Amino acid sequence: MAPRMKPRVALAVVCLLLAAACQRGVEPAASPDAGLMEFATLRITDEAEHFLFTYLMADGSFATVDKIADVPEGARGQVIVVDTALSPAERRSESILYVADLNRKKEDGSYPYTVVSRFKFERDLLRDPVKASGVMPPECEAVPPSPPDRVVLYKTDWCGVCKVAADFMRKEHIPFIERDVEKDPGAQQEVACKALRAKARVNGVPVLDVAGELLLGFDRDQLVRLAKRLQPSPADPTSKKML
C-alpha cells in the first residue's frame, strides 16, 4: 500500500486573474490527439490503492492526496486522477488528463470520469478557480476573523484614495485600523484569503473589511451603510454603535 500523502499547496498572489471553470466535460473527440491509440480505462473506487487525486483550491494552487476520502467536499466535482499502475506513456500524461467527478458514484461503486485535453483543461478550466473550488488553502486557516467593532483598511503609502478613505472615517467617527499590504506580508495574505472567501477579485487598494463584508475601493455611501453593523468596542464602553 502506498504511504499516505499530505496535500501539497501554495498560496497564490493577491491579484488573481481567474474565470469560471467549465461545467461540462470535454468531449474526447475535441482533443487534439483524438484518433490515436485508445485511452487506458480506469476503475476509480474508494478502495483503490494505486491512484493519486489532485484537486483545485480557491487560490489556483493544487493539492494531491492518495485517498478519495481526503479530497474536500468542495473540490470533488473536478479531480485529476493519476493511475500510478500505468506508465506515463500508457496514460499519455503529456497530452491528456483523467478528470473525475467524485460527487457521483455509479451503481457499481466506481466514479465517472472524462478524458480531457491537458491543453484545454489548462486553458479553459483554470481561469477562475475561486468560482470552481470552495477549498481554502491551509494558510488561510490562520487568518483571524473580521473584527466586529471596527473597519480594517488595507492600503499602501502611495494610495491617495486610501488616505481619503481614512480621513472620511475619522470625520464620520467610524472606528478603523490600517494594514499596509506592501510593508506587512501578513496583511497581504490576510486580504488575499478574505477575497477568496468572498469569491472576489482584488485588483488594488483600498480594500475595506466592514464586519466581514469586503468593499473593493472606496464608496462613501456603502461604507456608511455597512458601518451600521459595527458593534460597540468592548475596550471602549463610551463608544456607540453608528445610527
Tracing cell 483523467 back to the chain, one arrives at 98
The per-residue pLDDT for range 57-70, each reduced to its tens digit, is 888 888 999 999 99
Tracing cell 468592548 back to the chain, one arrives at 234
CA distance 33 to 120: 12
CA distance 13 to 142: 17
Q: Determine whether 118 is exposed, middle or buried from the number of CB atoms within 10 Å of its CB (0-12, 13-18, 19+).
A: middle
Helix, strand, or coil (residue 182): coil
Indicate the pTM of the whole model.
Answer: 0.64
Choosing among 3.40.1260.10, 1.10.760.10, 3.30.565.10, 3.40.30.10, the CATH entry for 143-227 is: 3.40.30.10
Under the banding of pLDDT at 50, 70 and 90, the label for residue 235 is low
Q: Determine whether 152 is exposed, middle or buried from the number of CB atoms within 10 Å of its CB (0-12, 13-18, 19+).
A: buried
Question: Are 181 and 195 a contacting pair, CB within 8 Å?
Answer: no
Q: Given this model, what pLDDT does residue 32 score?
A: 43
pLDDT over 70 percentage in the chain: 79
SS (H, E, C) 229-241: CCCCCCCCCCCCC
CA nearest to 69, candidates 98, 100, 102, 101 = 102
Count the residues in the chain: 243
Q: Around 240, how many Cα atoms within 13 Å sit in the side-chain half-sphere?
A: 4
CA distance 80 to 61: 13
CA nearest to 208, candidates 160, 166, 167, 145 = 166
The per-residue pLDDT for range 80-120, each reduced to its tens digit, is 999 999 999 898 888 999 999 999 999 999 999 999 998 88
CB within 8 A of 95, min separation 6: which ones?
31, 32, 33, 117, 118, 119
Of 4-13, 123-132, 174-183, the poorest mean pLDDT is in: 4-13
One-letter amino acid for residue 19 of the chain = A
Q: What is the CA radius of gyration of the chain?
A: 23
Task: Kindly report the average pLDDT of the chain as a whole number.
Answer: 81
Question: Are 98 and 42 a contacting pair, CB within 8 Å?
Answer: yes
Cα 10-84-135 angle, rounded to 5 deg? 30
What are the domain boundaries of the chain? 28-134, 143-227
The per-residue pLDDT for range 19-76, each reduced to its tens digit, is 333 333 434 444 444 444 478 999 999 998 999 999 988 888 889 999 999 999 989 9
The per-residue pLDDT for range 135-150, each reduced to its tens digit, is 888 888 888 899 999 9
